Amino acid sequence: MTRLAAPEGLSPESEFPIQNYPDIPLWTENYCFVAYDPATEIGLWTHLGRAPFDPTLWRELSFVYLPGGERLVNKGYGRTETPRGPGAATMAFQCVEPFRSWRVTRDGGSIRTTVDRLYHGMVDDQRHERVGFDLTLNCLGAVWDWGEVEDAHKWGKLHYEQLVNVRGTLTIGTEKVPFDGQGLRDHTSGARDFTIFSSHIWSWANFPSGRGFILLHLVIDGNHLTRAVIQQDDGVLTAVDLHNSPVLTGRSQHAEPYLLELGDHRITVEILHPFPNGFDGPNDICIGYDPAVTATANFESLSRFEWDGEIGYGHTERSIRLG
């Protein structure tokens, strides 16, 4: 696939952690990398974000999706940032070449749990096992730059995303598992407040032909705020409208299939591997769901997409505010 230049307004320095923290309420900075290998049915959701209580401290979250409903989870904090990327206690993201390549590494302990346990409660401290990964993300196509529209969403002022392929190795205990899949990377900074919307969907997918899409759709006070793009097989992005609103109206719907009406296209979606979690307060992310803590229920679900008969894989993030 053609690799295209970053959009106007994004310099190579945009890739690196911000060094001057603005005095803005709820300001934060986040990097999120998600990937799925359909051959092994193993997926990965990773996140490094500045702690809500201290912007110099990075919060790490890593979720490994295993076949059969087991999940390996970790949440921690640390200060191993380098000039080329963020880092916390056991995980680091390093920019190899801006808008072209990243390296994602981790080596630490994780808790083994299940989808059912995450659905009915938050993860407590228990026995850990070693989980590591060393993955290279090669960027595909253009960078989708949200720019200033993010102010209205309170999702971040700087916000751009890019589809990627992901190759490397996962280590679980003493076993090394090759990984060869597709994914997406995200970098945001600015004010982030999860309490302003009642529901949302963030969805994306890669297809073998080189096509793909990315969308974010929020419901705020009954109004829909939406941005979506389709990536053609030459890597070019085209803005499209989302004609439906496939958000959740209850937690029990999280694993049900849904439909995306993107421009002139209809894409059917099957949830393969759900991950129940929740949001606490303005912008903290919890492992699992507890209504006493997580007023907003969320699901990070690896998904199968069908578009004009072509099968692709990606991710569905959907939330609903219940508290």
Q: In this predicted structure, what is the pLDDT of residue 146?
A: 76
In a domain, 153, yes or no: yes
Regions of the chain with pLDDT less than 70 = 1-5, 147-157
pLDDT, tens only, 188-206: 998 888 888 999 999 999 9
State the Cα–Cα distance between residues 286 and 278, nearest whole angstrom: 5
**Domain hosting residue 96, numbered range:** 27-321
Please count the structural domains in the chain.
Answer: 1
State the Cα–Cα distance between residues 279 and 249, nearest whole angstrom: 17
DSSP assigned state of 127: -
State the Cα–Cα distance between residues 47 and 317, nearest whole angstrom: 14
Q: In this predicted structure, what is the pLDDT of residue 150?
A: 46
CATH number at residue 159: 2.40.370.10
Q: In this predicted structure, what is the pLDDT of residue 149?
A: 46
Q: In this predicted structure, what is the pLDDT of residue 155?
A: 45
In a domain, 9, yes or no: no
Q: In this predicted structure, what is the pLDDT of residue 147?
A: 62
Sign of CA dihedral 90, 96, 97, 101: negative
Angle at 25 between CA 19 and CA 29, to 5 degrees: 40
In a domain, 44, yes or no: yes
In a domain, 8, yes or no: no
Per DSSP (E only), the strands in the chain are 27-37, 42-51, 54-65, 70-78, 91-97, 101-114, 128-145, 158-172, 175-191, 199-206, 212-220, 223-231, 237-239, 258-262, 265-273, 276-280, 284-286, 296-307, 310-321
Say what the pTM is.
0.95
pLDDT, tens only, 76-117: 999 999 999 999 999 999 999 999 999 999 999 999 999 999
- Could you tell me if 306 and 267 are in contact, meaning their C-beta atoms sit under 8 angstroms apart? yes
In a domain, 297, yes or no: yes
In a domain, 37, yes or no: yes
Q: In this predicted structure, what is the pLDDT of residue 157?
A: 66
In a domain, 202, yes or no: yes
